[in-house]
Structure 1
Amino acid sequence: MNNHTIEAPRVAGTSTNAFVVTLTDAEKHQLRGALEVLLASGFDRKSIGYVDAVHRSAIPIKALSERIFYSASPYAVIRNLPVETLATDWKVGPAPLTSAVLVGLTRALGLHHFGYPEEKKGAILQDVHPIAGWENTLSNAGRVHFNLHVESPFLPRAARPEAAALMAINNDARTATRVAVVADINARLPQKTLEVLRQPLFSYGQDDSFEINGYALETPRSPFLKTIDGYEESRCAIFTNTHTPEAGKALTEWLSAAEAEAVDVVLEPGDMLVFNNYRCIHGRGAVEGKRWLQRVYGSRDVHLADHRDLVSVWRAVGEIGIDHSF
């Protein structure tokens, strides 16, 4: 594991090549004021007003968009955004200010939000925190170390989020979110290993956070790596199955390189991490203490979503008109 950690002092230009934007307190208060006026009539996830407020703020949306969709390091951290001030005895519940920032910024990037009816009961804005009874699960509700992965890799690419955003409301646990770029991981490995990973020698099972009535899904055999539109992508899953000894060895080498490449991002209240889910993998350390983040998925193309902005697992795996090979 490397020693790169993005935390205080919170400025851009670290050795991690991270793109970090930090609002001044005045810029934060300006955005808070604009959003609180809109929130006086209640939170509405689809309100265009939040997007307009973000566009009028100091957040460099054009630069962020270029970074997430078209750069070699497609992730960014935005610091010192407005969030709720929590009481000492806080409990997870509605957080309209945080939600408005999260959806406003991601929609400003051109993302259409969606969720899955089989995950978190169809929540699109998701609260990420330890849940009693789930402590040992490999999911966002657990407390154990959560391995590096992409979101929803057991589904075909068309049903996976193109990007995801995490925003901290509390992180007393000081748990780091980990992120690594697929192309940078690949650069650490010999061509022979990469050639194995590009062959259909792998299959993927669903994440623990999905509830599918006791069924166990496993994808058709497909590559672990693929180049799409000139960029390196991975189907890295928590539950990745290998089907030859050569594939198992190559996967072990890739995951070791991923651990060495990953950057630790310590999100303080008001900090947001946005990353390209096709071209980055992410995870987190063990959660030892209080931690509450909000999360949202999005893609620029969500044609599989229904009128509720939900993508059904069953529709995705049965859809004929999409590519199921990766």
Structure 2
Amino acid sequence: MIATCELLPDERTALWEASEEVAAHGPSAVDRSRLPHRIQAELASFARDSGRSGVLLLRGLEVGSLPPTHSDGEAADLPAHGTAGSMMHLAEALGTMIGYADEKHGALVHDVVPLPGEENRVEGSGAVPFDFHIENAHHPLRPDFIGLVCLRRDHDSVAATRVASCRMAVELLSEDVVQSLRVCEFFSHYPGSFTRDAIDEPAPIGPHPVLFGSVDRPFMRFNSHNTTCVSKRGRAALAQFTEALEHVCHDIVLAPGDCAVIDNNVTAHGRSAFTPRFDGNDRWLRRFYAIGSIPSTVEQMMESPRVIPQIPQLKGLW
């Protein structure tokens, strides 16, 4: 079961008023006391223990007045919109809102929309199936949590956010397969969002395990598109793990005002296919990252607040 929390009308209004005020100033301006106490408590509890499902669905967020999803083929830009402020409040309740210097130029709020000519890309700008992955499996400092806020559904209301917990999936696997996934012999390639402007393809990161942590409360580091293994045993284990994730998957068709908060160490996510029309009313999500803590060494390397430095600067972390 997916834990769900729906904002009451007064909570929705209070959060929106606070969000509009803070949107232009950034997450450092967030006053945590402005987030309704009940919602703050739900998020704090989830951050401490996301349970077996690793997902919390918040419903009833205000999305305000929106421009067309696209303009002349470019995604709409909403830097100081109230939804950015809402995401800042939610992220800060989970930990610290972050971005990555080598992804989307360090942006803290990401707009996820289909783009003309990129429909077949297996990433946020595409419309084809996007199979199970955690965010930034290749990275030594991955987000602990991600939030996906729906501003618009797709025209046909068929594009589902797919979530699958490794804690549920491992229950379907043999002990031998689980042990194979715990071996440090897997490599993860950079996702397209990190290499869009790169001239050369960076070498994959690894070796690393796919599963780690305690037997009864495992974590994962996995991207079905980018995580590979040189051994036949490891490749077979990856295939069985992907099949198990599919078996425990929940499909959520987000409505405007819904926010799926996902434990990025426990639960993989993906997206089903849909058909964009590029008429201004296409599917539109906004995404944020949050992390429990940032190592002091990384903070001292940051050129911009909350923006994790480029990977070559972090080589000492793994």
TM-score (norm 2): 0.86
Counterpart position of 1:226: 212
Give, in angstroms, the shift of residue 208 of structure 1.
Answer: 1.1
* 1:27 CA displacement: 3.1
Aligned to 2:255, the other structure's residue is in SS state coil
Q: How far apart are the structure 1 equivalents of 2:62 and 2:114?
A: 23
Task: Please show how residues 38-53 of structure 1 align to structure 2 within 5 Å.
Answer: 38=21, 43-49=24-30, 51-53=32-34
Match of residue 199, structure 2, among 202, 205, 213: 213
User: For the residues of structure 1 that align with 2:237 and 2:261, how far apart are their CA atoms?
Assistant: 29
Cα gap change, 1:86/1:314 in structure 2, threshold over 3 Å: closer, same or farther?
closer
**Matching residue of 1:101:** 86
Partner SS state of residue 239, structure 2: helix
CA distance 1:26–1:60, change in 2 (3 Å)? closer
Distance (whole Å) between structure 2 residues aligned to residue 253 and residue 62 of structure 1:
37
- Structure 1 runs of 4+ off > 6 angstroms? none
Answer whether contact 2:303 2:309 (CA < 8 A) is retained: no
How has the CA–CA distance of structure 1 residues 209 and 34 changed in structure 2, closer, same or farther, with 3 Å as cutoff? closer
Match runs of 1:124-135 below 5 Å: 124-135=108-119
d(CA) in 1 for partners of 2:153, 2:31: 25
Q: For residue 88 of structure 1, report the CA deviation from its aligned partner.
A: 6.6
Q: Does the 8 A contact of 1:68 with 1:76 survive in 2?
A: no
Structure 1: how far apart are the matches of 2:216 and 2:310? 28
Q: Shift of residue 112 of structure 1?
A: 1.1
- Paired residue for 1:84? 64
Structure 1 distance, partners of 2:202, 2:25, is 35
Could you give the per-residue CA deviations for residues 132-181 of structure 1, whole angstroms, max 9, x where no partner exists? 2322211111111111001111112xx11111111111113431111111
Unaligned 5+ segments in structure 2 are 277-281
Q: What percent identity do the matched residue pairs reach? A: 25
**Residues 45 and 230 of structure 1: is their aligned pair in 2 closer, same or farther, counting only changes over 3 Å?**
farther
Aligned to 1:196: 180
Q: What runs of 5+ residues in structure 1 fail to find an aligned partner?
A: 1-16
Paired residue for 1:119?
Answer: 103
Name the CA shift for 1:106/1:79 in 2 (closer, same or farther; >3 Å): same
* 1:314 Cα deviation after fit: 2.6
Change (3 A) 1:81 1:224: same
Find the partner of 1:310 among 307, 311, 314.
Answer: 307
Residue 185 (structure 1) aligns with: 169
Aligned residues: 297
Q: In structure 1, the residue corresponding to 2:208 is in which secondary structure?
A: coil
Report the TM-score when normalising by structure 1.
0.84
Q: The residue matched to 2:308 in structure 1 has which SS?
A: coil
